[in-house]
Amino acid sequence: MSTLDIDDEIAQEICTRFEYSGQHFDEGSFVAIEGGRVLGVGGTFEEANEILRRSGVPAGEGMVCEVERPCRIMIR
C-alpha cells in the first residue's frame, strides 16, 4: 500500500468518524496528513498547507483534507 493510499484512508476515517487515533476533529477544520501521520489542524486550507510546509513536506506531497460529512449524490 502506498503512502498516498494510507493518507487517503486516514482522511476517509476522519470524515466518517470525526476522529483518528484518539484525536477528535471538528467539522469544517482542515487536517494536514503526510506519511500516515496527522501533522496538524488548521482553520483554513492555507493554515493546514502551511503546517505541511513547516514540517518539511515538499510541495506536491502530503494531503490536506477538509473535515466534512460524506455526501452521497443521487441522480434520478
To the nearest 10°, the Cα dihedral for 60, 3, 44, 59?
A: -20
**Average pLDDT value for residue range 55-75:** 87
Neighbours of 76 (CB within 10 A): 2
Higher pLDDT, 38 or 1: 38
Split at pLDDT 50, 70, 90, the class of 43 is: very high
**Average pLDDT value for residue range 29-33:** 98
Question: Three-state SS string across the chain, please?
Answer: CCHHHHHHHHHHHHHHHCEECCEECCCCCEEEEECCEEEEEECCHHHHHHHHHHCCCCCCCCEEEECCCCCCCCCC
**Average pLDDT value for residue range 22-47:** 97
Q: Cα(15)–Cα(55) distance, rounded to whole angstroms?
A: 23
pTM: 0.88
